[in-house]
Amino acid sequence: MANISLQNISKAFDYKPILKDISLHIHQGERVAIIGKNGAGKSTLLKILNGELEADYGKRILEGDLEIQMLAQKPNFQEGSTTKESVLQALTTLNQAKQSLEQIAKSLQNAPYDKELLKKHSKLSNFIEHHNAWDLENKIQQILETFDLKELENQKVEYLSGGEQKRVALACLLLIKPDILLLDEPTNHLDVEMVEFLENLLLKEKYTLVFISHDRYFIDKIATRIIEVEDCKIREFNGGYGDYLKAKEALLKSLSKSHQTLLKHLRMEEEWLARGVKARVKRNEGRKERILKLREEAKKNPSLIKKMSLELEREHKHFNQLEGTNHKKMLFELENISMQMGNKILFKNFSTRILNTDKVAIVGKNGVGKSTFLKLLLGRAQNYYGTLQKGGF
């Protein structure tokens, strides 16, 4: 089985460390989600996996003859190609394989026991089988239709919107079906139906995937493992998003527990120190130094624990809210929306989701911002902070 590994990878940009001494291993058949805050280094990690970006230190190891391809956060296209041409270009190898297979099949009619021909035939069949390309034409149509690309077939890709370009790139990669597919935020420009189609395709056709996503539901449905990038390090969790949250919960508990142990230990050491220590004894000096370190840690821990538990609480809320929705079509998703009119703050870090068939009443005193809220949903408000996503409708 072919695999890819990173060994002790470090990477910095302009002396700012992004990744420090990271090792990971991706097996065929896995679907690994990379999560983390903006700027944590997720895309950097994916580019290093893809081989397009070189690490400052460490090794990238490919086992076997692997084809790896990546959907970039902002894909690049050859200038001048239309959507249709781009798709056909992506499929050159597969189409060639199918043509060769046809020819070999014809030749085999005349020489049914030719060993060379039989060998080639089986190799090509396996290749096509592996890429699930027997019914390529049907798959092309299905993907173009679902991703709303049919009407863009003859348009030049360079003039399409960012979201449309990303859908074209994703369509090409899904059709190519490389041995390892790397996707940088694939669902960002997809509506609910497109995401559902993507999920089913990835699962049904058993793609090997490493993907970056902020979409908790997508992660939970797809991922067999989660890698979190934080403070230049990675932490790995088995399973989907629900499992990740449970593991984080356990981590938080053990952190709190070891903090309590540390406090107890520190208290004893402080008592020892208060009893008066003979100076200049080397052993005592060392013990004093360790006490200073313990004090530092004891000071740092509470804010770390608090930050982690707040983050976790927020994640739980989002995720449970999401699970309760039964995957109803999402119409609006607001995250940390803030808006101000003159000196008046209308919304401050307001987050909510509005789903299809929801009936939402907006109540409040005159002038608090009810109509402004509706304008926001209609896309007629510009001066807000935060993210507002609209589902496909």
Ligand X SMILES: Nc1ncnc2c1ncn2[C@@H]1O[C@H](COP(=O)(O)OP(=O)(O)O)[C@@H](O)[C@H]1O
Cβ-based nearer residue to ligand X, 175 or 182: 182
Output the smallest distance, CB 46 to Mg ion, in A: 8
The option from Mg ion, ligand X, none interacting with 94 (CB < 5 to 8 A, set by class) reads none
- One symbol per residue from 10 to 29: x for binding ligand X (CB under 6 A), - otherwise; what is it? ---xx---x-----------
- Which span sits near Mg ion by CB under 5 A: 41-49, 50-58, 152-160, 285-293? 41-49
**17 forms bridges with which residues in the sheet?**
12
Output the smallest distance, CB 55 to ligand X, in A: 12
- The answer to whether residue 286 forms part of the interface with ligand X (CB under 6 A) is no
Report whether 239 contacts 223 (CB < 8 A): yes
The option from Mg ion, ligand X, none interacting with 154 (CB < 5 to 8 A, set by class) reads none
Residue 383 phi/psi, 5-degree rounding, is -85, 55
User: Of 11, 31, 36, 43, which one interacts with Mg ion (CB under 5 A)?
Assistant: 43
User: Of 9, 41, 143, 240, which one interacts with ligand X (CB under 6 A)?
Assistant: 41
Between CA 387 and CA 107 the distance in angstroms is 60
Task: Tell me how many helices (H) and strands (E) the chain has.
Answer: 11, 12
Distances in Å between the alpha carbon of 234 and those of 18, 190, 215? 11, 28, 19
Helix/strand/coil for 210: strand
Cβ-based nearer residue to ligand X, 41 or 240: 41
Distances in Å between the alpha carbon of 288 and those of 260, 280, 283, 284, 301? 20, 11, 9, 6, 20
Nearest to 220 by CA among 247, 248, 242: 242
User: Of 31, 33, 42, 339, which one interacts with ligand X (CB under 6 A)?
Assistant: 42
Q: Which residues bind Mg ion (CB under 5 A)?
A: 43
Q: Which residues bind ligand X (CB under 6 A)?
A: 13-14, 18, 36, 38-44
